[in-house]
Amino acid sequence: MSWLPTKDIDKTCESIAKLSAKDAESYRTFVAMSQSVLPLFVPGLYKPAPPLGQLMAMLDSNDEGRLMLDYMQRSSMDILNHWFESDRLKIHLSRLVSENLQLPDELGTGMGMLLMPGIMHTYGVSQPYGGSGKLTEALIKCVEHHGGEIRLNAEVKKILTSGGKAVGVEMSDGEKIMAKDAVIGSMHPHKLRQFVDGVEEPVLARAEKTTLAPFSLFVCHYDLKQKVEFKAKDPAVKQAIMLTLAATDNMREMQEDYDSLKQGKISKRRLLAGNDESHSDPSRVPPGKGMWHSTGFAPFSLAEGGSSRWDEFCEEFGELQQAGFQNFLTNLTPDNIVARKFCSPMDMVRDSPNSFVGGDVHGLAPYFYQSAGHRPTPDLGQFKVPGIESLYLVGPFMHPGGGVFGAGRATAMVMFEDLGMNFDSTVGGQVDADLPATKTRPAAPKDNIMRLYDDQSDEIMAVNSIDTQGDEIVIKGKTFGTMPLVARLGPADLRKALKLALSPKKLASIVSMLFKR
Ligand SMILES: Cc1cc2nc3c(=O)[nH]c(=O)nc-3n(C[C@H](O)[C@H](O)[C@H](O)COP(=O)(O)OP(=O)(O)OC[C@H]3O[C@@H](n4cnc5c(N)ncnc54)[C@H](O)[C@@H]3O)c2cc1C
């Protein structure tokens, strides 16, 4: 049986109702709740995170924030069992969270459970036409267009430092490339010692103590003569961007399989996802041909033989995966297979040895103690290495975590600030000019609240009082519709504000605005 959620909440609820009418109603409420906390969460993904303590205090000041605090301490299973009765639905939703290499019964995975449905029904899921490589190609073009140079097969051996400052890099062939302003490194916290000299021991020790995800991925690629055909008859299955091939519809059995992963054992049933993406994107294959691409879950360190056994075990495990696919497909058969390639968790490490440490393709587990301003550690959470000036960190082990969603922006913001450059006018300004506002701003409500909107006409701040207290102006309101905010402005900053806002030209324009509706 296939079950197909889509971005459209009504259609998704209709399909859930076939499993359980009660769950369909609960799901609608759950998604609305999930969407209500997104305004607190999403803006924080693309900028440096505040210190963890400060973030907790902010969350603890309103209902939506307290809900997040509650859910982020729970396990996904706890939340699923509380809300839903259908095992099929629970299996599907738990898979959304385990995509992030988390086990659904781990305490602290509830945050993913709370957020993912809201994200899916607000933004949907997408992938680049032509495959992920097209994204890399586009980035290369962008870098080169702006005068940058990309070097392939060029391995950095060491960050060069002088007087406590990063001044360049040394390549494995001995070449030295000197930096004009700064060095950016995608260095896993476990690898900091290897790349940078002069970092204080406690900083290194804390970095090396960070925790990796409890399991990894096993990837299978097939070139096929013909596109895959599914046993499931619903034609929408072929078009799905994320397709889980659940080998059981019993949550307890699924949990047993997750438990095996944790113990480094080969699970009784396969934990698979995959699709023939050429059904929806023909550019992936030669005309008329097919493909099969699957990511499945696998332990990194095998209970028998550890991670080093993967090279000899890879083909055998690949055969197990293939048998798993065949339960869902009619034509993944020897006569249809042109070529196949299996990539084990050890291959993930070889692909990106200084990011995917321990097979963790998201850098580090997204546990509470290594999240937000504490990701990967409190020392390194501001994208810099204490004691080494002009060295900046980027990568999936930094805030906001692994995945392909523009996370390097936060590092760029920190660098811009340090280099005295204006991020908004350089980056934000250009994007804003190209992107017309997608929504019309709602008419100002008839109340005494001053509202600030973002460039897409969404409210980001509502100010309900501006008072003076001693030498300060005290502004009170709410950000993102929920989070209480108290901002204080002292004399020096007030002078700066006036300087920023009041050139004669701006003054004329501001005064004329007062007469507009
Ligand atoms: C099979 C698989 C499936 C995934 N699926 C998804 C998905 O569906 N959605 C999603 O959002 N994320 C997914 N991810 C995770 C995502 O790919 C990573 O989080 C992301 O690639 C991290 O990007 P990055 O550029 O920071 O690091 P990386 O992609 O690891 O890039 C680091 C680069 O640095 C290079 N490098 C390493 N050491 C050196 C050195 N010493 N000198 C020079 N260069 C060096 C590496 O070769 C590599 O090219 C997946 C990952 C894998 C492996």
pLDDT in tens, 300-327: 999 999 999 999 999 999 999 999 999 9
Q: Which of 62-71, 94-103, 177-186 has the lowest mean pLDDT?
A: 62-71
321 in contact with ligand 1, CB cutoff 6 A: no
362 in contact with ligand 1, CB cutoff 6 A: yes
pLDDT of res. 481: 62
Spatial contact of 353 and 346, defined as CB atoms under 8 Å apart: no
Both tokens of 509, joined, read 């324009």
Residue partners of 35: CB distance under 8 A and separation at least 6: 118, 121, 122
Q: Half-sphere exposure of residue 74, counting CA atoms within 13 Å on the CB side? A: 18
- How many Å lie between the centroid of ligand 1 and the Cα of residue 348? 9
Residue 505: CB atoms within 10 Å: 8
Mean of the per-residue pLDDT values of the chain: 90
- How many Å lie between the centroid of ligand 1 and the Cα of residue 358? 13
Angle at 373 between CA 371 and CA 377, to 5 degrees: 70
Would you place residue 43 in the very low, low, confident or very high pLDDT band (cuts 50, 70, 90)?
A: confident
- As to burial, measured by CB atoms within 10 angstroms (0-12 exposed, 13-18 middle, 19+ buried), residue 467 is exposed
Q: Atom 51 of ligand 1 has which residue's CA nearest to it?
A: 361
- How many Å lie between the centroid of ligand 1 and the Cα of residue 171? 20
pLDDT of res. 127: 87
112 in contact with ligand 1, CB cutoff 6 A: no
- The mean pLDDT of 98-121, rounded to a whole number, is 93
109 in contact with ligand 1, CB cutoff 6 A: no
Q: Which helix (H) or strand (E) holds 252?
A: helix 251-262
Alpha-carbon distance of 329 to 323, in angstroms, equals 10
Both tokens of 217, joined, read 């991925």
Both tokens of 246, joined, read 């659940």
Length of the chain: 517
- The mean pLDDT of 49-67, rounded to a whole number, is 84
Percent of the chain with pLDDT over 90: 68
Q: Which of 106-110, 477-481, 512-516 has the lowest mean pLDDT?
A: 477-481
- How many Å lie between the centroid of ligand 1 and the Cα of residue 396? 8
Tens-digit pLDDT profile for residues 145-201: 999 999 999 999 999 999 999 999 999 999 999 999 999 999 999 999 999 999 999
Q: Residue 445, preceding bond cis, omega within 30 degrees?
A: no
Spatial contact of 118 and 12, defined as CB atoms under 8 Å apart: no
Domain ranges of the chain: 1-125, 136-211+362-429, 216-353, 450-513
Spatial contact of 50 and 372, defined as CB atoms under 8 Å apart: yes
Alpha-carbon distance of 45 to 398, in angstroms, equals 11
Q: Which of 404, 405, 409, 411 to mutate to test the pocket of ligand 1 (most atoms within 8 A of CB)?
A: 404
- The mean pLDDT of 260-288, rounded to a whole number, is 96
Q: Atom 16 of ligand 1 has which residue's CA nearest to it?
A: 403
- The mean pLDDT of 51-80, rounded to a whole number, is 88
Would you place residue 504 in the very low, low, confident or very high pLDDT band (cuts 50, 70, 90)?
A: confident
219 in contact with ligand 1, CB cutoff 6 A: yes
Alpha-carbon distance of 460 to 468, in angstroms, equals 23
- How many Å lie between the centroid of ligand 1 and the Cα of residue 300? 17
- How many Å lie between the centroid of ligand 1 and the Cα of residue 405? 12
- The mean pLDDT of 372-400, rounded to a whole number, is 96
Taking the mean position of all CA atoms in its chain, how far away is CA 388?
Answer: 28
Alpha-carbon distance of 219 to 272, in angstroms, equals 10
The structure's pTM equals: 0.85
pLDDT of res. 484: 67
pLDDT of res. 480: 62
- How many Å lie between the centroid of ligand 1 and the Cα of residue 266? 25
Q: Atom 35 of ligand 1 has which residue's CA nearest to it?
A: 352
Pairing of β 388-393 and β 183-185: parallel
108 in contact with ligand 1, CB cutoff 6 A: no
Name the CATH superfamily for 136-211+362-429: FAD/NAD(P)-binding domain (3.50.50.60)
Alpha-carbon distance of 223 to 293, in angstroms, equals 9
Q: Is the pLDDT of residue 1 over 70?
A: no
295 in contact with ligand 1, CB cutoff 6 A: yes
Tens-digit pLDDT profile for residues 418-428: 999 988 888 75
352 in contact with ligand 1, CB cutoff 6 A: yes
- As to burial, measured by CB atoms within 10 angstroms (0-12 exposed, 13-18 middle, 19+ buried), residue 197 is exposed
Would you place residue 271 in the very low, low, confident or very high pLDDT band (cuts 50, 70, 90)?
A: very high
Q: Is the pLDDT of residue 381 over 90?
A: yes
Q: Which of 151, 361, 362, 397 to mutate to test the pocket of ligand 1 (most atoms within 8 A of CB)?
A: 361
Residue type at 279 in one-letter notation: H
Tens-digit pLDDT profile for residues 435-458: 444 566 777 777 888 888 776 676
Q: Which of 106-115, 227-236, 339-348, 423-432 has the lowest mean pLDDT?
A: 423-432
Residue type at 508 in one-letter notation: A
Q: Which of 90-99, 368-377, 496-505 has the lowest mean pLDDT?
A: 496-505
Would you place residue 401 in the very low, low, confident or very high pLDDT band (cuts 50, 70, 90)?
A: very high
